[in-house]
């Protein structure tokens, strides 16, 4: 009897230990990730993605996590380099990430997506706008590639006709930096500009991280260019604008969403006055973003650019994973497409390709170092 009591007690203790070790309070974390240019020339955007992701994970964990488990965030730095992006993707897979918010540059998101697709990891980019990012996987029946931003072709539809109307009969130059993002954007904008009845006066490319744009500026002066549309990133555009003003080119400069960082003005200085860029309408003043924006500002950080897009990507993924009761990428992706999801940037609805069904674009104009959104039409 005594021996039986010891055995029973021991078994009860073992079960108790087992329950403690494997119970809800000790479940393993779910690993997700954010990836982008955390260092390098485009690190300002990497910070936007990281800040938005960190806040989302913090808020989701505070609300109980995903399916009763806490989220653990890994951060990948690809410096917007395609080869490094593939290395980062493989590294995040090895670390067990089941979801990735990223990358930033289309030229990184596209090659990285091949790794995530192969390994069954759901990817939602907050920023990559090249149509091929979602188009190519969709043609192969892949459903685990999505975004919380618009596409270059949609932005071209917005910018091209505006350029044609505003600069009718004027000399317009269209430039790009040969990147997947910049080139795609310039092609779509030019296509819509020409379709609206206008002819491009000058079409040129330049090399990213170029330090001297004198030759290109001279070409534009010779062609008597009145307006310059640029598909490229803020660091190059800021330097080009500054050198253009120094060399007497008075043309208007127009660009797109990669100018959505205060760092642009730190490069351009007063030469950036009046530059306009297109981007999705800001969510900062939406009721859905109010609480999140207040938290960021309390932490002395202004959630510019793609900060809230990153937050929304993780927010939507977590909601879908909770609804599907799994982190299986295909099941979560199917859930995300099944109905609209409420996020910090408003109600999001995805089509079969993983693109948002609606993005409202707006113009932003720099004045005294700050970009202000013009009223929506």
Quick one: CA dihedral 307, 309, 313, 319, positive or negative? positive
What separation in angstroms does the CA of 154 have from each of 60, 176, 327?
32, 17, 31
Q: Which pTM value belongs to this model?
A: 0.89
What is the helix (H) or strand (E) element at residue 35, kind and residue range? strand 30-36
pLDDT at 223: 98
Low pLDDT (below 70) residues in the chain: 1-28
pLDDT at 376: 85
pLDDT at 14: 39
Q: Quick check: do 25-149+284-360 and 153-274 share a fold?
A: yes
Helices (H), 120-213: 132-139, 152-166, 180-195
Q: The tokens of 211 are what?
A: 């330090």
Quick one: CA dihedral 48, 111, 74, 78, positive or negative? negative
CATH code: domain 153-274 is 3.40.50.2300
Give 174's strand partners.
203, 229
pLDDT at 377: 72
Which sequence spans correspond to the domains of the chain? 25-149+284-360, 153-274
State the number of CA atoms in the 13 A half-sphere of 26 facing the CB. Answer: 7
Distance CA 305, CA 374 (A): 16
How do residues 71-129 score in pLDDT, each as one tens digit?
999 999 999 999 999 999 999 999 999 999 999 999 999 999 999 999 999 999 999 99
Q: What contacts 24+ positions apart, CB below 8 Å, involve 131-134?
A: 131/184, 132/106, 132/180, 132/184, 133/106, 133/109, 134/353, 134/354, 134/355
pLDDT at 28: 63
CATH number (3.40.50.2300, 3.30.465.10, 1.10.3720.10, 3.40.50.970) of 25-149+284-360 reads: 3.40.50.2300
Strand order in the sheet with 30-36: 71-77, 30-36, 99-102, 122-125, 145-147
pLDDT at 20: 36
């Amino acid at each position: 009897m005594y021996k039986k009591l010891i055995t029973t007690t021991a078994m009860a203790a073992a079960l108790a230990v087992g329950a403690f070790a494997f119970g809800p309070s000790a479940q393993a974390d779910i690993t997700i990730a954010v990836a982008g240019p955390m260092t390098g020339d485009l690190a300002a955007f990497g910070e936007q993605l990281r800040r938005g992701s960190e806040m989302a994970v913090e808020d989701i964990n505070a609300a109980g996590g995903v399916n009763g488990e806490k989220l653990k965030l890994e951060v990948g730095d690809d410096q917007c380099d395609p080869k490094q992006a593939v290395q980062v993707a493989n590294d995040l897979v090895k670390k067990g990430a089941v979801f990735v918010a990223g990358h930033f540059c289309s030229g990184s998101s596209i090659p990285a997506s091949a790794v995530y697709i192969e390994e069954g990891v759901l990817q939602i980019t907050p920023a990559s706008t090249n149509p091929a990012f979602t188009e190519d996987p969709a043609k192969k029946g892949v459903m685990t590639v999505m975004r919380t931003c618009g596409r270059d072709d949609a932005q071209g539809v917005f910018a091209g006709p505006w350029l044609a109307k505003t600069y009718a009969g004027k000399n317009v130059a269209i430039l790009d930096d040969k990147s997947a993002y910049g080139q795609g954007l310039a092609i779509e904008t030019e296509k819509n500009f020409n379709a609206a009845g206008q002819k491009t006066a000058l079409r040129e490319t330049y090399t990213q991280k170029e330090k001297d744009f004198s030759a290109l500026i001279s070409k534009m002066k010779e062609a008597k260019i009145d307006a310059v549309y640029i598909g490229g990133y803020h660091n190059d555009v800021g330097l080009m604008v500054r050198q253009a003003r120094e060399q007497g080119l008075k043309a208007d400069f127009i660009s797109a969403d990669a100018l959505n960082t205060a760092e642009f003005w730190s490069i351009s200085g007063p030469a950036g006055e009046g530059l306009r860029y297109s981007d999705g309408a800001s969510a900062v003043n939406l009721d859905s973003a109010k609480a999140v924006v207040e938290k960021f500002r309390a932490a002395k950080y202004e959630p510019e650019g793609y900060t809230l897009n990153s937050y929304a990507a993780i927010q939507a993924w977590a909601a879908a994973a909770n609804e599907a009761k799994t982190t299986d990428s295909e099941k979560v992706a199917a859930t995300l497409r099944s109905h609209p999801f409420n996020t910090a940037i408003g109600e999001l609805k995805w089509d079969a390709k993983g693109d948002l069904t609606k993005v409202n674009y707006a113009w932003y104009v720099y004045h005294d170092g700050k970009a202000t959104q013009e009223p929506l039409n």
